Amino acid sequence: MLFEVKPVQSLFPYVHFSFYQGYQLSMSDLRKATTSSKQAAGCLFTNFEDVRLTDEERVYLNATAIGDIGIIRMSLEDSEENAEFNVNCVDYMGRNALHLAVDSENTEAIEMLLDKLNFECIEEALLHAISKGHPKLVRLIIEHPNYQAGEDQIKRMDSKNAFFRTTEKSQFSPDITPLILSAHYNNHEMVQMFLSRNHTIDKPHSISCQCNDCQVRQDYDSLKRSRSRLNAYRALASPSYMALSSPDPIMTTFELRQEMMKLAEIEKEFKVGLLLPSLVYFLLTS
């Protein structure tokens, strides 16, 4: 029996229209966005294929990928005497040793690497552990003294500066925090974990806001500002986040949905990304 294949537009007219209309950028806008975002967005355009590793670094990364504790220990010891050996090196896919250890779920290797790697690598591995849905590994990382020291230093800095950070060795946008990513994956346990550590998600300013901070961000990179706003609203619309952070999740759902619908009418290129999270939660709570 043959099935009639209907065009996507007839089945999902709203979604098809939104995607089609939203991404019809002019070539000049696209070139401008690409050029400015190579520095500002980092992870979106970073090319790791030109990474050059020494033989020792290749052995070190391979050992972390397969969980060979003996070679990892020897590599870390050698790095103290070999100035050319970089324990924070990444492979052609931008994965550092701790990232690979998270993939192999080797807690012993993770603990060893947490003692040696810098905070940038630790933070990237933490986000990767969140994306993989490993709450035990997430807890192991955030309870380590080196992560806590780096986290305290970040807290003492102005949180607004995260927008202007460039993370050449990270696969995540600088505005993505552990709590935001946990909310994106709607992981109740991990959202609770970070809320208990006093992590918060700031609601974005109105798109028409003319404050100095918004003007600086708009002039610096308008595309990055829009993506940052989208990431924040996706996290705020997470059922787990609303249930754990709001005194009245149902009312919060309606208020947030209204805000996102208004914003979607202005930033049409992100219309689907803005409306789908609120629509899903609205249906779940109806």
The residue extents of the domains of the chain are 7-44+173-286, 45-159
The CATH homologous superfamily for domain 45-159 is Ankyrin repeat-containing domain (1.25.40.20)
Closest CA to 118 of 79, 81, 156, 82: 79
Q: What is the pTM of this model?
A: 0.74
> Length of the chain, please?
286
Closest CA to 174 of 60, 81, 39, 51: 39
pLDDT (tens, 9 = 90+) of the chain, 286 residues, equals 444 444 433 333 333 333 333 333 333 443 344 344 333 334 444 555 567 899 999 999 999 999 999 999 999 999 989 988 999 999 988 899 999 999 999 999 999 999 999 999 999 999 999 999 999 999 999 999 999 998 888 777 655 556 556 555 567 888 899 999 999 999 999 999 999 999 999 888 877 777 888 778 777 767 777 788 888 888 998 999 999 999 998 888 888 888 877 777 766 555 445 455 544 444 444 4
d(CA 275, CA 263) in angstroms, rounded, equals: 9
Q: Cβ distance 63 to 72 under 8 Å?
A: yes
d(CA 267, CA 218) in angstroms, rounded, equals: 14
SS3 43: coil
> Which amino acid is it at 113?
L
- Other C-beta atoms closer than 10 Å to the C-beta of 246 total 15
